[in-house]
Structure 1
Amino acid sequence: MELYELAPEKGQRKNKKRVGRGVASGNGKTAGRGSKGQNARSGGGVRPGYEGGQMPIHRRLPKRGFKNPFKKIFAIINVKDLNRFEKDAIIDETALVKSGLVKGDRDGIKLLGNGEISVPLTLKIDKVSESARQKIEAAGGKIEEI
């Protein structure tokens, strides 16, 4: 079988309805839009969320909570993730991004103490939990908070 021999099964694909092609086509004259009115016009219809003057649902429902516009989003990594680095390596944000541990937009990186570490490393990082700090220093590593 070759690529050019591939085709959908009979009845799998449906042709687009061609409207406005004369009375005999069955969808001529008003082209399935009915007679007159806002929806019959080109460009007609109402905006999304409009309910004909009734109070729209997005205004009827109560708003809850508070969205802090100054919230900081931190990328989270664990101590166990650092075992992939070589002994005495200097690890900063660029090294973590290059290794694939940190992705996307963020305001900083935080190291948490989940897991164990066996190699001594020097970390230049934004935030560190107390348990992570103890594990890194116990393995002979150093942490510089920036």
Structure 2
Amino acid sequence: MFKKNRSVILQNNQTKKIDKAIKNRNLIKRLAIIAGLFLLLLAGYGGVIHHVNSVENSKRAVFIQKKPSLIFFYKDDCKYCNKIFINILAEKEMNKVNIQLVNLNSKYNHDRYKGEYLISAVPTFVLLNKDGKETERYVGSDMSKIQKLIDQVKEMK
């Protein structure tokens, strides 16, 4: 009788170990899937910024149009610029707001506009009125302040 109970206890312990191992494998698989999805999302976000910056840099120069608009001076290696870039791009493309993007990592843009617009830091936003004159300026990455400038551009239409 004791031998039968002993074998049942041993089988139960082995079953518990196997169940625990299966649960651990399933947990590892789930964590791997979550990590993979996170990396894909991160790569996609970085890819959008890289693509837009490569398009902007492939142009020889950005010519600022003197019309009602918001000029966004940025550098593609600036962490504060990258933090807000996707929001600015969404406003420009989806809401058809006249925002001019000027990447100051481009030598031509840097040499021409840093002095003309007195840019001392990025990100810098310059609001132009209907005569092409600067009416307001903001240096920083506070989206609520930037949104006020974007709203002013929308009102100028």
TM-score after normalising by structure 2: 0.21
TM-score after normalising by structure 1: 0.22
Higher helix share: 2
Q: Relative contact order, CA 8 A, sep 6+: which one is greater?
A: 2
